[in-house]
Amino acid sequence: MTQDKTIDAFLSQYDEVVFTNALRLREVILKNTPDVIEEIDLPAKIIGYSYGRRYVDVICTMIPSKKGLKLGFYRGMDLPDPTHLLEGTGKISRYVDIKSSKQIQSPALRKLIQSAINAYKQRTSSSSIGRKS
């Protein structure tokens, strides 16, 4: 089964609004994160987007549920968020509660994704300093 079919099957367990918004959000994520690794975590019921296998490599996660759809950001508390899209009170992660197609297509959400990529690049370039090759 191809990745798209696997993702469609995973997302099809949610209502039509969540399913449709998730597919639209997926398209935006993939378009704005070149060469990203997309991976379903079935036990956690999320789709992760990362540039490697370590937690530090995570850019964002799509979190569908019966109640709606969220886009989670690793170290989201550190991301610039001038339009106040990010929610949550965790020590590290934050999320955007996805409510509409208009929100998914918004420049503010794309900027947040780009900020997450920039933060990843900073994390990984600074974490490689001092490592032995």
The CATH number of residue 106's host domain is: 3.90.1150
Residue 36 domain flag = yes
Residue 131 domain flag: no
Tens-digit pLDDT profile for residues 67-105: 999 999 999 999 999 999 999 998 889 999 999 999 999
Which residue carries 């540039």 as its tokens?
A: 51
Range of the domain at 27: 3-124
CB atoms within 10 A of CB 61: 21
In the numeric block, the tokens 């001092």 are attached to: 130
Does 71 reside within a domain? yes
Q: How many CA atoms lie within 13 A of 97 on its CB side?
A: 6
The whole-chain average pLDDT of the chain stands at: 91
pTM: 0.89
CA distances from 131 to 77, 101, 125 (A): 27, 43, 11
Q: Is residue 130 included in any domain, yes or no?
A: no
E runs forming strands in the chain: 37-41, 46-50, 58-64, 69-73, 94-98
Q: Are 59 and 118 in contact (CB under 8 A)?
A: no
Residues in contact with 43: Cβ distance below 8 Å, sequence separation at least 6, in sequence order: none
Side chain identity at residue 17, one-letter code = V
In a domain, 60, yes or no: yes
Q: What pLDDT is stored for residue 3 in this prediction?
A: 67
**pLDDT at residue 131 above 50?**
no
Number of domains, the chain:
1
Q: Note whether residue 37 is domain-resident.
A: yes
